[in-house]
Amino acid sequence: MEVPLTPLDFLRRARKLHGAREAVVDGGERWSYEEFGTRCDRWSSALQRLGVTQGDRVAYIAPNTHRQLESFYAVPQIGAVLVPINFRLVPDDFRYMIQHSGAKIVCAGADHTAAVDSIRGDLKDVEHFVSLDGPRDGWLDYESLLKDASAAFDRPSIGERDLLTINYTSGTTSRPKGVMITHRNAWMNSVGMLMHWPMTPGDAYLWTLPMFHANGWTFTWSVTAAGAKHVCLPKFDAPTIFKIVAKEQVTRMCAAPTVLIMLANAPAEAKALAPKGVGVMTAGAPPAAVTIQRIEEELGWSIIQIYGLTETAPGISICEPLPEHRALSKDDRAKIKARQGVEFITSGELRVVDDQRRDVPRDGKTPGEIIARGNVVMAGYYNDPDATAKCMGDGWFKSGDAAVVHPDGYVQITDRLKDVIISGGENISSVEVEAMLLRHDAIQEVAVVGVPSEKWGESPHAFVVFKTGQSATPEALRQFCRDNMAHFKVPHGFTPIGELPKTATGKIQKFVLRKGRANITAQ
């Protein structure tokens, strides 16, 4: 009586129970769950007519449109493997990922067909190129193929450990790795999200998070499982977000900390449009408590943080609110919300261990590395057995993230291991220093990295983005830090910068700042 665990089952159920309910909104277009499901079926049929068979890879380079959303059902339900590619990358990155994955079909949005055309000569294994946004010379047209296809297709037998997607890592220090996510991985993570952050058919989810980013943290499937409404958003800024939240009665969205900062610093007239009670999930980097507090107090929204990696499908912990948290002060409650929390019920086991693989004490001080094992950990890196063995060969996935465990069992990241600054024998958490600086009224964003020091070996240096029309002297910032934290953690230097380098998912690229630090030497 067992059936495979697959997120594809969520759409089957949604069509059965919520067929007439509004499922997807994209600009001025709207579809019910039955209409959305039929479009997915027709695209599955069209792909099979193009020669796609079970196990073939289909790559997408597209923003958050309904056609991108359709790929998360249409491609895997014929047993093929979806490869959602970060559309903000450059042609050389596209070339590598398409070639490495062995994609048979490439589907691209209007803004990215020219980039693909520039490398088509190198994509010898790609059999068809599909334009998602209207006819293009040398490209098949998505809607024309869809119109000509039947809703009937050959549905293969799919196992829960079959490959569902290949998601490429950011590749900040080497070539990106292809993370293999199975149907079981995705089902477990989707259900876990809904257990800890429930949605109902009355909810509307705004796609501010890129769908390519770890499959939209599995909300490509979780929203459907709840019978809720997907509100697509290909491009956005803060005023646009607030406008659509009000228009579509949005109740849920996900946002990296950089997006939270953007919302917190939006113009007052834009914020005035925002209804109360919107739930926001954040992840991707440790958010500052002050940012969380501003969003909750100024907008009346509720923030919850999760933690994970592309390799863990992605969620493995969540900062689950407890009844006793309600009795805390706003400041203390915000500090707890800035933690990465406890294991998802469905994810498996998470530990923080020292170099001897011993669990660190629950003192909130002793750092270790986060490791995990369980239902959401990837099947491995595609065509890279050495990298797979290195990070999970002993049965535990090694995250590379340094963290402490508080007495209540809640985990809190202190840094990426490679970002820990060792100054005069003391370990300094760049995340801690950044959180302190974000409390300064003039600072909008900040990144802290280690720079060479003749005296200390390495010292913290802060790259600061000031709010519009505001500034502060290095002396004032240094004194602000000295007044609020141990003196050895205070940055030795401050560099104003117009914009911090970031990945497409909002993570600050500290390696870029490190490359430029050669001209900065602390004394």
Looking at the structure, tell me whether residues 401 and 434 fall in a common domain.
Answer: no
pLDDT at 425: 63
Indicate which CATH number applies to the domain containing 154.
3.40.50.12780
- Which carries the bigger pLDDT value, residue 423 or residue 497? 497
- Of 383, 416, 449, the residue at which a domain comes to its end is 416
The answer to whether position 237 is within a domain reads: no
Looking at the structure, tell me whether residues 52 and 80 fall in a common domain.
Answer: yes
Burial letters 85-120, b for 16+ CB under 10 A, else e: bbbebeeebbbbbbebbbbbbbbbbeebbebbbebe
Looking at the structure, tell me whether residues 301 and 366 fall in a common domain.
Answer: yes
pLDDT at 487: 85
The answer to whether position 474 is within a domain reads: yes
The answer to whether position 213 is within a domain reads: no
pLDDT at 333: 92
DSSP string, 193-206: HHHHS---TT-EEE
Q: Residue 454: pLDDT above 80?
A: no
The answer to whether position 279 is within a domain reads: no
Contacts of 12 (CB under 8 A, 6+ apart): none
Looking at the structure, tell me whether residues 512 and 445 fall in a common domain.
Answer: yes
Q: What is the distance between the alpha carbons of residues 240 and 219, in angstroms, rounded to a whole number?
A: 21
- Domain span at residue 65 reads 34-183
Looking at the structure, tell me whether residues 339 and 443 fall in a common domain.
Answer: no
Q: What is the distance between the alpha carbons of residues 267 and 198, in angstroms, rounded to a whole number?
A: 31
Looking at the structure, tell me whether residues 102 and 172 fall in a common domain.
Answer: yes
Looking at the structure, tell me whether residues 398 and 475 fall in a common domain.
Answer: no
The answer to whether position 6 is within a domain reads: no
The Cβ of residue 236 has, within 10 Å, a number of other Cβ atoms equal to: 17
- Which carries the bigger pLDDT value, residue 436 or residue 426? 436
Please state, rounded to an integer, the average pLDDT across all residues of the chain: 93
Indicate which CATH number applies to the domain containing 424.
3.30.300.30
Phi/psi at 349 (5° precision): -105, 135
Positive or negative CA dihedral for 418, 421, 427, 429?
Answer: negative
* Short-list 423, 406, 506, 425, CA closest to 461: 423
The answer to whether position 225 is within a domain reads: no
pLDDT band of 171, cuts 50, 70, 90: low
Q: What is the distance between the alpha carbons of residues 315 and 344, in angstroms, rounded to a whole number?
A: 7
- Name the strand (E) or helix (H) holding 313: none
Looking at the structure, tell me whether residues 407 and 424 fall in a common domain.
Answer: no
Q: Residue 29: pLDDT above 70?
A: yes
pLDDT at 521: 45
The count of structural domains within the chain is 3
Average pLDDT over residues 484-508: 86
Q: Would you say 131 and 143 are in contact if contact means Cβ atoms under 8 Å apart?
A: no
pLDDT at 281: 97
Looking at the structure, tell me whether residues 333 and 429 fall in a common domain.
Answer: no
Looking at the structure, tell me whether residues 396 and 295 fall in a common domain.
Answer: yes
The answer to whether position 215 is within a domain reads: no
